[in-house]
Chains A and B, each alone.
Chain A
Amino acid sequence: MAEQNTTNIARQGVSHEELCERMQEIEHIFGAISDSADSHIKTTCPYRDAAQRCTAKFECRFVARNGPHKGRCGWDGSDDYQLGWFPPQPAMEKRI
C-alpha cells in the first residue's frame, strides 16, 4: 500500500515546500494544544467540595513558585526531593 501511495504521489508532483507548509501547520496545531494543556493544569480545579467550591491550592505542582525561574514554578532547594533522590548521607544514617 505504501509503495502504491508513493507512486501515486510522485505522479501528483507534490512540492517539497507545500508539504513543509503542511508539516508546519500540524506542528502549530499541536503546539497550541500543548499550550492549552499547560494553561489548563494551572487553572483547572481538580478538587471541589460539596458546594462545588475549589479546594485545591497548588498553582505549582509539587514545586514552589519561588524557584530558580522567576515567576514560574521551580525548585528552590528547600523541598525534600533530595531524600527521594540521593541515598542518606553517612552522618544521617548514624543519627538514625
Chain B
Amino acid sequence: MASGSLIPTGSLRMAKLEDISNDFLREEVETFVTREDERENLIARYTAATPKMQAIAAGVVSARHHDVDAMTADALTTGTSALDVMDHGLIAGMALVGIKFRDMKIFVPEVLACARAMKAGMKHIEPILVASGIAPTGKVIMGTVKGDLHDIGKNLCIMMLRGAAFQVIDLGVDTSPDDFIEAVEEHGANIVGMSALLTTTMPNMAKTIEAFIDADLRDDVQFMVGGAPVTQIFADEMGADGYGDNAVECVDLAKKLSDENG
C-alpha cells in the first residue's frame, strides 16, 4: 500500500461505512462516531487500510496490547511500511479512542489502556525513528510521591510525554526519595516529574528534592511537579524547577526543561 497523504481525497469522497472490512471497527464507527466530518475521515482512513492494518487499529481501540505488539512486529518484518503501520493502524486506532473519550463513551482508565496498546506497537517503530534522526526528546523519570497511591493524572502525563517522543521511566505510585534517586542514577535522566493528589503527601515532594540535595545530585536534575492540590506557589516554595497544571503543560514544561539541559 502506498504511503503519503493520511486521508486520500478520492477515498474521502467514495468510501462508505460498509467498505470497512473489519467488523469491530465498522461497528465502532457506526456506534460511536456521530460527527459527519470525523465519520468520513475515519471511514476513509480505515477503508484505505489493509485488513492487517485494520486489525492493528482494532487492537488499539480494544486495548489488546499483546495483540498490537505481535501484529505490529509481524507487519514490519513482513515488509509493511512504518508509515502505513502508523497511519492506518496505530494512529487510526488512537484517533477513534480520542473521539470516544471526548464524547464520554469511554473514560480515563480505558484511554490509558488503549494508549498502552498503542505504545506496544510504537515500541517497534522507535528504532525506525532513531534511524531516521528523530532522537528521543529527553528522558524523564515520573512517579507519584511516597504515601500517595493516585496515578491517573501522572499516567495521562506519561501518555502525553511518550506521544511527544520523550523516553519515560514510570516508577508508579508510593515512590520513595531513594527510588527516585536510584532511577536517576540508573537511567541517567535529568528530568524528574513528581505527582501528588493529597495535601498530606505534598510535603514528600520537598523531601524528595531535599534527598537529592543530600545525595549531591540536585544540580544534575530538574524537577517538575503537578497534581490537584499543587500550585505554582507551592512548586516555588519547595524549590521545584517547574509546575504543570495539566498534561499538556507537563509536556510543554518537559520540553522547556529539556531545552535548558541542552
Contact = CB atoms under 8 A, between A and B. Distances in A.
A75 B79 CA distance: 55
B149 interface: no
Contacts of B213: none
Contact of A33 (B83, B98, B126, B237): B98
A31 B102 CA distance: 12
A29 B94 CA distance: 7
Interface string B16-39: 000000000000000000000000
Contact of A34 (B104, B124, B246): B246
Interface string B96-132: 0110011010001001000100000000101111111
Contacts of A22: 83, 86-87, 91
B231 interface: yes
A36 to B, nearest CB: 4
Interface string A70-96: 000011000001001100000000000
Interface in A1-58: 1-6, 8-10, 12, 14-16, 18-20, 22-23, 25-27, 29-38, 40, 44
Contacts of B130: 6
A67 to B, nearest CB: 8
B56 to A, nearest CB: 14
Q: Is the interface of A mostly helix, strand, loop or mixed?
A: helix
A4 B101 contact: no
A9 B76 contact: yes
Interface in B221-262: 228-229, 231-234, 237, 246-248, 251
Interface residues of B, number: 53
Nearest to B124: A5
A59 to B, nearest CB: 13
Contacts of A23: 129, 134, 163-165
Main secondary structure of the interface of B (DSSP, over half): helix
A47 B240 CA distance: 34
Interface in B128-177: 128-134, 156, 159-160, 163-165
B77 interface: yes
Contact of B101 (A19, A33, A62): A33
Nearest to B233: A75
A2 to B, nearest CB: 5
A34 B6 CA distance: 23
Interface of B: 3, 6, 73, 76-77, 79, 81-83, 86-87, 91, 94-95, 97-98, 101-102, 104, 108, 111, 115, 124, 126-134, 156, 159-160, 163-165, 199-200, 202-203, 228-229, 231-234, 237, 246-248, 251
Given A4-B77, A16-B134, 7 more contacts: A8-B79, A9-B131, A12-B82, A23-B165, A30-B98, A62-B199, A62-B228
